[in-house]
Amino acid sequence: MSFWQHRWATEQIGWHREVHNDMMVEYWPAIGAPEGCEVLVPLCGKSLDMHWLAERGHAVVGLELVEQGVKAFFAEAGLSPDRKEQGDHVRYSRGPFTLFQGDALGLAPGTVQAEAWYDRAAMIALPDEMRTAYVEQLRQQTKPGAVGLLITYAYPQEEMDGPPFALIDEDVRRHFAEGFEVDQLAKIDLEDERDRGLSWITSSVFKITRT
Ligand SMILES: C[S@@+](CC[C@H](N)C(=O)[O-])C[C@H]1O[C@@H](n2cnc3c(N)ncnc32)[C@H](O)[C@@H]1O
């Protein structure tokens, strides 16, 4: 059983929130996603943020490795999805939601052609050595001009093992240096979370545009 399957199977899903992400609510309008466009949500879990996006008229395409997470998302929404195998993935869909179950990094290029994406706890869930492939997938699954909202989490990596893995602002600029524009919208100090024993923790919000 993989690390993530084990986390779902043992209900160790401390990242999941019962409320919408306040940074998304505040900054989503700032990225200027086209009205009614398709939004890609990589490593989506069963995030309620997908409902918030759908309520704003977006079609939502989530990518989630673990079947249990996909099933929980639809069950908790009271929806019975259609299920269809597609290559190495299983596509679940109902209403505004389509979730591809399988490795997000292995989804066939162009399966999704989103005009926007939303990353909360996705890039930080991956170690640095997997992030180049992650950014390449964002390129493969979005249209030119697509806009993304990225929420990061940064701390001294040597003080804690991930996930979440630290994603510092300089690394965001490095990973998105080719073929993307990066605009930092905010940076906040997460003093409340210092009880993890970390000497500092910050979270930044970026608008990223695929050029
Ligand atoms: C930290 S959780 C965040 C979930 C969601 N973004 C949220 O904010 O609640 C990361 C999720 O990514 C999934 N995941 C990890 N590696 C993945 C991969 N390679 N492809 C697709 N999903 C993956 C995990 O199963 C987990 O549900």
Which of 65, 119, 123 gets mutated to test ligand 1 (max ligand atoms within 8 A of its CB)? Answer: 65
Q: What is the pLDDT of residues 66-106, one digit of tens each?
A: 999 999 999 999 999 999 999 999 999 999 999 999 999 99
Q: How far apart are the first and last CA of the chain?
A: 39
Nearest CA to ligand 1 atom 27: 45
In the DSSP assignment, the letter for residue 7 is H
Closest Cα to atom 25 of ligand 1:
4
Contact 96, 60 (CB under 8 A): yes
- Give me 178's structure tokens: 């080719």
Rounded alpha-carbon distances, angstroms, from residue 172 to 49, 78, 111, 154, 184? 22, 37, 25, 11, 10
| 39-112 fold | Rossmann fold (3.40.50)
Strand partners, 206: 150, 184
Q: What is the pLDDT of residues 39-69, one digit of tens each?
A: 999 999 999 999 999 999 999 999 999 999 9
d(CA 22, CA 19) in angstroms, rounded, equals: 8
Q: Residues enclosing ligand 1, CB less than 6 A?
A: 4, 15-16, 43-45, 47, 63-66, 69, 103-105, 120-122, 125
Domain ranges of the chain: 39-112, 117-211
Query: How far apart are the CA of 33 and the centre of ligand 1, in A?
Result: 23
- Per-residue pLDDT reduced to its tens digit, 127-168: 999 999 999 999 999 999 999 999 999 999 999 999 999 999
What are the beta bridge partners of residue 150?
119, 206
Ligand 1 atom closest to residue 124's alpha carbon, by position in its atom list: 1
In what order do the strands lie in the sheet containing 38-42? 82-86, 89-94, 97-101, 59-64, 38-42, 114-120, 142-151, 202-210, 180-189
Place of tokens 């050029």: 211
Question: Hey, what are 50's tokens?
Answer: 């997908």
- Please check whether residue 23 is in contact with residue 207, taking contact to mean a CB–CB distance below 8 angstroms: no
39-112 shares its CATH topology with 117-211: yes
The residue contributing the CA closest to ligand 1 atom 17 is 65
**Residue 21 alpha carbon, nearest atom of ligand 1:** 8
Task: Give distance in angstroms: CA of 211 to centre of ligand 1.
Answer: 26
Statement: residue 193 has pLDDT above 80: no
For residue 103, give the ligand 1 atom closest to its CA.
Answer: 20
How confident is the model over 5-37, as pLDDT tens digits?
999 999 999 999 999 999 999 999 999 999 999
Q: Which amino acid is at 91?
A: R
Rounded distance from Cα 73 to ligand 1 centre (Å): 13
* Structure confidence at residue 116 as a pLDDT band (50, 70, 90): very high
| 119 CA to centre of ligand 1 in angstroms | 10
Atom 13 of ligand 1: nearest residue by CA position: 43
CATH tag, 117-211: 3.40.50.150
194 pLDDT more than 90: no
β-strands 142-151, 114-120 pairing: parallel
Q: Alpha helix locations (H) across the chain?
A: 3-9, 22-31, 49-55, 67-76, 128-140, 169-175
196 pLDDT above the threshold of 90: no
pTM of the model as a whole: 0.97
For 203, the 3-state DSSP assignment is strand
